[in-house]
Structure 1
Amino acid sequence: MQRRIPAVPRQAGFTLLEMIVVLVIIGLIMGLVGPRLFGQADKAKVQTAVTQTKMLRGALQTMRLDISRWPTDQEGLALLTTKPANADAARGWAGPYLDEAVPQDPWGQPYQYSQQPSGESPITLYSFGADGRAGGEGQDADVGYPPSQPATP
């Protein structure tokens, strides 16, 4: 008489080879899609800097109407949130002109301000861009109302 060995049910699952194939496919897809996503993030930072410089310029223009002058280079953008020490300017100051503190640019650097005219803008107000230095091209270009001449950091 022959003894029968009971059949052991096979467990369902993936083999190591199947898992490696899936991981390779996911890696190829990310290699194609990833750079495009990072490119969009860089464009978004530039657009944010453009929007913030316009917002800061509008706040500066409103403040100028109140105190009849642009902030000095020493006062800078802080005058948007802090009452001026000068009694004449403090009398007309109706700030703060921003809901929060003066923002940093999207790359974590302060915006550059000068009361010197820049091209058609009555002031100089800009971000150094991604590289944090004056000038540059593409993502590294200065954003906003940069000085007519190359600035020095």
Structure 2
Amino acid sequence: MNTRINTRLHARGFSLLELTLVIAIMGVLMAVAAINLIGGADDAKIETTKASMKTIKDALQQYQTRNNSYPPALQTLITGTKQLQEGADLDSWDQPFYYSPVGRSGAPKEQGFTLISGGPDTQMGTEDDIDIWIALARKAAN
């Protein structure tokens, strides 16, 4: 009878190997979930930056309509005309937008200025840059 009780007591618990295996599997699942959440955060920042750029584009076009030229700097729309709020010249990665009152050569007349974000890597001139005109063209195509 005593051996039967001992056997039952030992059979109830998990072995160290089983516990280690379960913890390892949970760790892998948590790592995959974290990677997916981080990727989703970047997508949200990209969309927020595009929305900010559209707001800036609208303010630039209003300024151009009133003054017959684009402002020399985005700061003019923040401190001068107050069409934009403080910090509107920063993208979702807290980097300043690249703005030029001169459009790219060969661009249509309505694209009379350049507005670009460095994107997730915060570096200008790389593949992940966000250009207002390219972003709007892609949105219109969808």
Q: TM-score range by the shorter chain?
A: 0.5 to 0.7
RMSD, aligned α-carbons: 2.5
TM, length-normalised to structure 2: 0.68
Match of 1:80 among 77, 82, 93: 77
1:52-67 → structure 2 map (5 Å cutoff): 52-67=52-67
- For residues 49 and 15 of structure 2, the distance between their equivalents in structure 1, rounded to whole angstroms, comes to 48
- Stretches of structure 2 lacking an aligned partner (at least 5 in a row): 1-12, 134-142
Q: Match for residue 117 of structure 1? A: 103
CA contact (8 A) 1:77 1:113 kept: yes
Q: Match for residue 90 of structure 2? A: 104
- For residues 32 and 82 of structure 1, the distance between their equivalents in structure 2, rounded to whole angstroms, comes to 45
- For residues 19 and 111 of structure 1, the distance between their equivalents in structure 2, rounded to whole angstroms, comes to 51
CA contact (8 A) 1:123 1:145 kept: no
- Stretches of structure 1 lacking an aligned partner (at least 5 in a row): 1-13, 84-94, 147-153
CA drift of 1:122 comes to: 1.2
Q: Match for residue 51 of structure 1? A: 51
- Report Cα offsets for 1:63-96 as digits up to 9, x if no partner: 2222222112xxx10010222xxxxxxxxxxx31
CA contact (8 A) 2:75 2:89 kept: no
1:102–1:16 Cα change, 3 Å: farther
Q: Match for residue 137 of structure 2? A: none
Which is helix-richer, 1 or 2? 2
Q: Which has the larger radius of gyration?
A: 1
CA contact (8 A) 2:74 2:89 kept: no
Q: What amino acid is aligned across from residue 111 of structure 1 in structure 2?
A: F
